[in-house]
Structure 1
Amino acid sequence: MHILFLTDNFPPEVNAPASRTFEHAREWVRLGAKVTIITCAPNFPKGKVFPGYRNRLHSREEMDGITVIRVWTYITANEGLYRRTLDYVSFMVSAFIASFGVRKVDIVIGTSPQFFTAMCAFMIGLFRRRPWIFELRDIWPASIKAVGAVRDGPVLVTLEAIELFLYRRATRIVAVTQAFRTELARRGIAPEKVDVVTNGADLTRFAPIPRPAALSRELGLEGCFVAGYVGTHGLAHGLETLLEAASLLQAREDGAHIRILLLGDGARKPALRKLASERGLKNVIFVDSVSKAEVPQYWALLDVSIIHLRRDPLFAGVIPSKLFECMAMGLPVLHGVEGESASIVQCEGVGQTFAPENAAELAARLTHLAGAPETLATYREKCLAAAPRYDRKTLAGAMLDIIRQTARTP
């Protein structure tokens, strides 16, 4: 079986969509499928092409048995609705053209967050008379409305009409959360058309390791209780809350030894750096993005991981993939996301929850855990016990079963 997969995020990018697609595709190849990925030159989130790559009309490479075709796109940083939309549309057009050079395709998959990639998958499926799957990673455009990037009006109405059209025309939909499946059912999409394959972690890459002493010294973290956020610094993540918590901790005697590390890049990072400087925060350390191979070293610096999204009903249906990487690393979490992912934290017993955008509660949780080593040890044990239930290999196999079934759909 030949799977044609469309995504505008792929390694060496290190965000969640890139990791999920690569780890799934690698496992599908191991299980006997042929996989061709159409993507663009790696540039997320800064909008700068990674070293060793060029934004060419067409290039081809092999990566762990996966054929990767990279096409030209309009490249911009991960900020600004209209420039980003131009980026998405250019990928849709370039990927559609490139698909003509891919032979004997059995099924087409287009992944979100944004739906222009899914639109391309629909067009390829229609043209080639092949089934296609919409992999639903985000309810878009509702998510950009939630962060204020677009307002109610003709543009939003048009985008939502296209979104609903794609849900209806997809042969099958694979959502990453049960909440997304419920939301689609509420909007008239038959539940039996929607499967759920959650995010997970590559347990061969993420596992407990000793704290790297040299890196800890380099970042000035020796003797400190270290909490950290690893991931995109975007509008949806509300990382200002972490800085507010840092300010509260800095003013307290029992918070003097607590440090907050922020690793990653994104649209809000310059503003966050400025805010930290203006507030004179000496307990916040900013680190730029590192390669996927280096990420476990930074997870290992932490005593607890902070996961956070802005307080909005839409985000209650999101399960951040970093939650599963933390489990695999044996790293307790402080989880500032409501809904389905908070239930996972509580049911698995891998950490504590706090109300999104509540800096005082976050600061209180941090000071409590900093003085509770036995509680942290229990969370670590439960993380490692839970991790195998979210093994990426198992989840990739489940999705391949769905793909094979869909490919046989008349």
Structure 2
Amino acid sequence: MNIAIFLQYYHTPDCPTAARPYALVKRLAQDHDVTVITTRSWEPRRLSQDFPWVPSGANLVRFDVPYHNSMSSLERLRAFLSYAVRAVAHGFRMPPPDLIIGSSPPLSAAMVAAGVASLRGLPWIFEVQDLWPEFPIQMGAIPGPGLPSLLYGLESALYRSATHVVPVSPDMERHVHTLAPNASTTSLEYGTDLQLVADITDDQRSRMRRDLSIDRPSLVLYAGKFGRANAIPTLLDAAQQLSDRSDLLFAFAGRGYYDSAVQQAADQHDHIRAIDPLPYPDTLALFSLADVSLVSFLDRPVLAANSPSKLYDSLATGTPVVVTNPGWTKRLVERHACGWYTPPESPTRLAHRLRRVFDNPDRLEEAGRNARTVAHQQFDRAALMNQYASLIDNVRGST
């Protein structure tokens, strides 16, 4: 089968990301001819050279469309439109594939997939990695009321037009059915690469502990974007409230809007570390060093529905999590006793929760065991990609 994937932001495990697009492309290319229509935006951000940028059996069509987190809303819109125009043109020039996948965000990539599929009479799968336009609307990036209403209508139309919709969390799936009750859907979470976790060595952990100056008995880790949506001020405030705990070290690994705030806290407090982004395998090793990880977002309904890759990576390494999402992640960690919930607007409650966690080492150890169990049972990325491959075969066979 020939499969075309419209995906604006493709990356590999050499980047400081969870690399799910790479895993999907690599898996599908085992059985099919796969062409990814993407951009070069992540290529310069590779931090290592351990993985082939193009998996065997795949072909990448790459456009030069810059993108970075410091862009204004207008600059981002220009990047989305630039990709969309080029991707549409390529979509009509290329030989017709048997199936199209369109991955959002941004919503424009899914629009391209839908348009090419419709005009060429092809089935298409809508992969929903974030809820757009819900996310930028709830974060105040899109003025109302006219434009949001237009975008909601477009989103609903895309769900209805897709042959199948693949959200990456159960709450996203519920959102899809709210707008398109008859949509055919299957939730497939990001998951994590359990083989990379198994490959982590004691020597690697020892080197990382030394190189990153992890010099206290217990490590609390936040690894991910320092974005406006990630409640970073709450985490920093909670860490500072725990300055009396000589056993605790807080590590913040990543980049984003709150770079300066994280670095300032690290400069002022011995128990706080700022760590540059790491390639995905090293990030997994860092999670394996941690005793607790923090998976934090602001209190917005759209953020409660998201699928944070750092959640799966933490669970896979046996590191329990404190989540601030009141949605499905809260239900997950409480149901499986592999973590805890605190509201994102209360650094004092987070600090209190961490005190209780570290004052009860038996419960912490049990939560770690439960974390590893649920990751192996539900979030093995290889198994999830096999499910994705089977879903694609079924979609193609039913059209």
Q: TM-score, normalised by structure 1?
A: 0.88
The CA deviation at 1:84 is 1.0
The CA deviation at 1:20 is 1.6
> 1: distance between equivalents of 2:46 and 2:58?
21
In structure 2, the residue matched to 1:393 is 382
In structure 2, the residue matched to 1:267 is 257
The CA deviation at 1:331 is 1.1
In structure 2, the residue matched to 1:50 is 45
SS in 2 for 1:352: strand
1:5 aligns with 2:5: yes
> 2: distance between equivalents of 1:346 and 1:319?
16
In structure 2, the residue matched to 1:378 is 366
Where do 1:35-184 residues align within 5 Å? 35-43=34-42, 49-50=44-45, 62-100=54-92, 102-184=94-176
Corresponding letter in the other structure for 2:72: G
> 1: distance between equivalents of 2:8 and 2:260?
24
CA deviations 1:363-383 (Å, max 9, x no partner) are: 112222223222222112112
CA deviations 1:20-62 (Å, max 9, x no partner) are: 22112222233x1222212111339xxxx3369xxxxxxx973
SS in 1 for 2:5: strand
> 2: distance between equivalents of 1:376 and 1:318?
26
Deviates further, 304-313 or 263-272: 263-272
Name the CA shift for 1:242/1:384 in 2 (closer, same or farther; >3 Å).
Answer: same
CA deviations 1:96-141 (Å, max 9, x no partner) are: 2233554341111111122011011112212322111111122111
1:29 aligns with 2:29: yes
- Residue pair 1:10, 1:21 contacting (<8 A) in 2 also: yes
* Gap runs ≥5 in structure 1: 53-59
SS in 2 for 1:196: coil
What is the aligned counterpart of 1:257 among 247, 254, 275? Answer: 247
What is the identity percentage for the equivalent residue pairs of Structure 1 and Structure 2?
24
> 2: distance between equivalents of 1:240 and 1:391?
32
- Residue pair 1:71, 1:98 contacting (<8 A) in 2 also: no
Corresponding letter in the other structure for 1:270: S
* Gap runs ≥5 in structure 2: none
CA deviations 1:283-309 (Å, max 9, x no partner) are: 221112111232122213311111111
Corresponding letter in the other structure for 1:198: E
1:215 aligns with 2:208: yes
In structure 2, the residue matched to 1:55 is none
> 1: distance between equivalents of 2:16 and 2:266?
27
SS in 2 for 1:381: helix
- Residue pair 1:76, 1:83 contacting (<8 A) in 2 also: no
In structure 2, the residue matched to 1:194 is 185
Corresponding letter in the other structure for 1:28: L
Q: What is the total number of aligned residue pairs between the two structures?
A: 391
Deviates further, 132-141 or 5-14: 5-14
> 1: distance between equivalents of 2:208 and 2:290?
12
> 1: distance between equivalents of 2:21 and 2:222?
22
Structure 1 residue runs of 4+, over 4 Å off? none
- Residue pair 1:79, 1:267 contacting (<8 A) in 2 also: no
In structure 1, the residue matched to 2:197 is 206
- Residue pair 2:320, 2:339 contacting (<8 A) in 1 also: yes
> 1: distance between equivalents of 2:53 and 2:287?
30
> 2: distance between equivalents of 1:234 and 1:355?
18
> 2: distance between equivalents of 1:223 and 1:312?
34
